[in-house]
């Protein structure tokens, strides 16, 4: 079946409705239901609509369809589709998205993501429809295939794989516990230190408790398995095959000794712990990715005090470490670590973007949103880079932090509700 393989969703024929029958399609012109208010009226509703009663869900679905109809170059809405959805909700309290609704809803979710500085590329998002995968084995297989397809030999593809939604009275059949499909283990040591990534200590413990043994010789960069659970609370671990995980060994354009540090990072950040909401329907398992901004790795993952905290080690090797903060040894080491990340990914042929370039692209994104009459949203603390922030074109800007639907939202960690 198409869904079992998780194929990329292709655009439907513009003249066909959900059942394949000929249907008129309304697109690119805002519907009469918004009384000429266009995008401002739609977004006002998208902000305030919440809840899961049939009437609330009909209102959420209606606002999403209005958004589809207003979208320039979008799929529009087939004649009779609105009434069909409302009937489904009245009968079952739920409705099923068509492949095009799923694809455009996911793209809108990226466009609305206030913490993402890479939204200029939102139209490039491809969607794998895996809603029919309802066992842990099937979900794990799709996740592994997602990692392979997204990596694309280093030419990273923006991709989301969407699993079964929540339905009235029925939770999602499978939950992904991992923050990202690829992440490194964090092992608690007897002296209170963490070997590996401290941010993953809790998940690492759950993996070990669920049957994962880990490598015979534990290290700082051991790839964690997938940890999944079903509706009954049963947990299973699934190893990520080596061929599905591309890692980049870190080197430096000037320091020949840098490779001796044996530091590395993985190629693709595939976020797996957020819920995708589209038109009142929630998808608790919907791993998605773009590609890395260099500072995400070099200024956060590897440098944060609560993560790998590698700056003191690097400064020692550079011969600049000092107990006097006024020497700015941290700043010097931080710049060189970020140079190493960009250099290494480019040398390996893995797609990455620097924080200056992506900031200018976000300005273009903002300009397009304003031109089309859509609200410009964002979180300043996420959009401004953690390195040389004052040099970013985003530094002096302010942002509206409202999170409109469709969107990727935070959800309770799986282990906080574990049986």
| Rounded distance between C-alpha atoms, residue 208 and residue 112, angstroms | 36
The pTM of the full predicted model, rounded to 2 decimals, is 0.91
Q: What is the pLDDT of residue 27?
A: 55
273-285: average pLDDT? 96
For 135-177, where are the E strands, in sequence order? 159-162, 174-176
What is the per-residue pLDDT for 14?
Answer: 31
Looking at residue 164, what is its pLDDT?
96
Contacts of 102 (CB under 8 A, 6+ apart): 9, 127, 129, 162, 278
* Rounded (5°) CA angle 159-339-271: 25
Query: Which tokens hold the place of 126?
Result: 């491809």
Average pLDDT of every residue of the chain: 90
At 28 the pLDDT is 55
- Active site residues per annotation: 116, 119, 291, 296
Residues 398-404: what's their mean pLDDT? 95
3-state secondary structure at position 212: coil
Residue 78: Cβ within 10 Å count = 24
Whether the bond between 105 and the residue before it is cis, its omega within 30 degrees of 0, is no
Mean pLDDT of 90-119: 97
pLDDT tens per residue, range 18-39: 333 334 555 555 554 444 467 8
pLDDT value at residue 23: 47
Round to whole Å and give the CA distance between 115 and 394.
13
DSSP one-letter string for 364-392? HHHHHHHHTT---B--HHHHS-SSSGGGS
User: Is residue 227's pLDDT more than 90?
Assistant: yes
- 177 with 203: CB under 8 angstroms? yes
Looking at residue 37, what is its pLDDT? 60
pLDDT at position 2 over 50 = no
Residue bearing the bigger pLDDT, 179 or 41: 179
Dihedral of the CA atoms 192, 195, 201, 204 (nearest 10)?
Answer: -130
């Amino acid at each position: 079946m198409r869904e079992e393989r998780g194929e990329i969703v292709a655009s439907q024929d513009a003249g066909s409705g959900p059942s394949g029958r000929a249907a008129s399609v309304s697109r690119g012109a805002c519907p009469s239901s918004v009384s000429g208010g266009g995008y401002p009226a739609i977004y006002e509703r998208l902000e305030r609509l919440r809840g899961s009663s049939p009437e609330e869900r009909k209102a959420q679905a209606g606002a999403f369809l209005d958004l589809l109809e207003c979208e320039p170059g979008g799929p529009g809405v087939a004649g009779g589709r609105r009434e069909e959805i409302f009937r489904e909700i009245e009968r079952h309290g739920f409705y099923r998205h068509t492949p095009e609704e799923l694809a455009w809803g996911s793209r809108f979710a990226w466009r609305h993501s206030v913490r993402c500085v890479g939204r200029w590329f939102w139209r490039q998002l491809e969607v794998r429809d895996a809603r029919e995968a309802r066992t842990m084995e099937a979900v794990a297989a799709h996740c592994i295939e997602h990692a392979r397809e997204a990596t694309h030999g280093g030419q990273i593809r923006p991709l989301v794989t969407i699993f079964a939604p929540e339905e009235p009275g029925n939770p999602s059949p499978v939950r992904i516990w991992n923050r990202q499909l690829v992440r490194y283990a964090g092992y608690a040591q007897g002296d209170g230190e963490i070997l590996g990534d401290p941010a993953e200590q809790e998940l690492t413990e759950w993996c070990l408790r669920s049957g994962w043994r880990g490598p015979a010789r534990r290290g700082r960069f051991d790839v964690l398995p997938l940890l999944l659970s079903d509706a009954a609370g049963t947990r299973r671990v699934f190893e990520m095959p080596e061929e599905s995980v591309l890692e980049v060994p870190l080197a430096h354009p000037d320091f020949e000794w840098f490779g001796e540090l044996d530091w590395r990072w993985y190629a693709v950040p595939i976020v797996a712990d957020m819920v995708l909401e589209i038109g009142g329907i929630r998808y608790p398992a919907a791993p998605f990715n773009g590609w890395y901004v260099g500072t995400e790795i070099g200024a956060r993952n590897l440098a944060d005090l609560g993560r790998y905290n590698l700056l003191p080690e690097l400064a020692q090797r550079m011969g600049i470490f000092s107990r006097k903060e006024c020497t700015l040894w941290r700043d010097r080491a931080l710049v060189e670590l970020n140079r190493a990340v960009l250099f290494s990914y480019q040398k390996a042929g893995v797609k990455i973007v620097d924080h200056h370039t992506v900031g200018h692209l976000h300005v273009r994104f903002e300009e397009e949103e304003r031109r089309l009459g859509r609200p410009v949203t964002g979180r300043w603390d996420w959009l401004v880079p953690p390195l040389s922030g004052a040099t970013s074109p985003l530094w002096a800007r302010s942002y509206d932090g409202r999170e409109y639907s469709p969107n990727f939202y935070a959800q309770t960690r799986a282990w906080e509700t574990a049986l």
